[in-house]
Structure 1
């Protein structure tokens, strides 16, 4: 009886640790969304802090445990991702942060769009005024390039899960 209880507890702990794991691309995406959401709010200091966290995360990845196609794309774009994230973190002007987000978004979308491990629907949105893209978790348009002044400017161009 005691042996069965121990086995059940061990199995429960093991199953819990598996379900708590998040894929590297999901983790990257979650951090990206925090940066983007700070820019939607017009909070340059929060965007900078969240970009610092994203840079730290990216620098901690030697590689990502993904399929070969996603891994190759990550290896090719890691330096570009870090460059754009550091631009957001160091910029003192929210407009420069927003410009860097546009560049970052294209690289993150390239990973999200091919990864088989993204666990949620992600929308690839286009700002018709700025001619830049951003990613979001919801279908509602919340434009990070203009913030409150033109929050609903833009349209959904694509999504990763049909």
Structure 2
């Protein structure tokens, strides 16, 4: 009887292990894309329009590397497919511009999509802050609680408020 139970436990373990590894891979790659998002946000917040195109392409690559088939729930998979497509399209759009105003317009679409993903997927391994600028009515994610406004940069670097805190998962 002990042998049967042990055999069953080992069998179930082999079924669960790949699923856990797949979830860890999805989470890891998602968090890499989030780091790429933050790098782009930081460049825009400090008016570095010459860095933004390269960072947008790095973001696009990071998003492509998230193994979307690792989402077990259909709802999560569909959300990832729709929002990641927006991020990739807007990142490509941003990468083709050297104009800070146009880059920030593209970043708006990236931010809206990333906020949806972070809130719904709950994969962030670090605390994240949804911040909001009442002047332009823009939102973005930030890795720190202090406001770093990517839409107005040096003009109004600290304009905004923290609207939501996404706990680490």
> Under a length normalisation based on structure 1, what TM-score does the superposition of the two structures give?
0.80
Contact 2:30–2:66 (8 Å) recurs in 1: no
Q: Which runs of 4+ in 1 moved over 4 A?
A: none
* 1:60-96 Cα distance to aligned partner (Å, 9 max, x none): 4462534524322101222211111111111120111
**Local SS of the residue matching 1:156:** strand
Whole-Å separation in 2 of the counterparts to 1:153 and 1:67: 39
**Structure 1 unaligned regions, length at least 5:** 1-17
Corresponding residue to 1:147 among 145, 149, 153: 153
The C-alpha deviation readout for 1:22-70, integer Å capped at 9, x for no partner, is: 6222111111001000011100111111101111223344625345243
Q: For residues 69 and 34 of structure 2, what CA distance do their matches in structure 1 show?
A: 13
TM-score normalised according to structure 2 size: 0.77
State the Cα deviation string for residues 92-146 of structure 1 (Å, max 9, x = none).
2011111111111010011111223210111111111111111101110111111
* Pair 1:77 & 2:77 matched: no
Contact 1:38 1:47 in 2 (8 A): yes
Q: 1:120 to 1:53 in 2, by over 3 A?
A: same
| Correspondence for 1:48 | 53
Counterparts of 1:25-64 in structure 2, within 5 Å, are: 25-61=30-66, 63=68
Structure 2: tracts of 5 or more residues without a match:
1-20
